[in-house]
Amino acid sequence: MAALVLGVAGCGAPEARQNAAAAAGAAFEAAVAAGDHVRACELLAPQTREQLEQAERKTCPVAFAAQELPEARGIQKVEAYGRQAMVRMTGDTLFLSLFDAGWKVVAAGCTPLPDQPYDCMVKGA
């Protein structure tokens, strides 16, 4: 049911897209905090999951367990434009894309760099 709500909410008005992206980001961070690597992998975008598996040469849950993502708390800001979103939390920034199944994390463990793009620990190709 939650996936259906996120999928439907992901297509609507800007506020609905932001809320759905925020919910997906919060679910991802909750899975990370709980050590639920299977759930965290389910919330990754397909290319991100594939990149992680190829880089580590392990299944996603095993590869994800080796990542040292920062601890994130509380959403500070959400920006959603079309099918892309950025969710800033205390301790982490996530980038998400909207897929048929809802919002998925494209990059996590992201920190801003001066005059450069974000540096992300987990990201797609």
Q: Give the residue extent of every domain in the chain.
A: 2-123
Per-residue pLDDT of the chain (125 residues; tens, 9 = 90+): 344 334 444 445 688 999 999 999 999 999 999 999 999 999 999 999 999 999 999 999 999 999 999 989 899 999 999 999 999 999 999 999 999 999 999 999 999 999 988 999 999 87
Give the pLDDT of residue 13: 64
3 state DSSP class of 80: strand
In the CATH scheme, what architecture does the domain 2-123 have? Roll (3.10)
CB 89 within 8 A of CB 76: yes
If phi over 0 gives left and psi between -120 and 50 gives alpha, with beta otherwise, what is residue 115? left
CB 102 within 8 A of CB 7: yes
> 2 phi and psi, to 5 degrees?
-60, -40
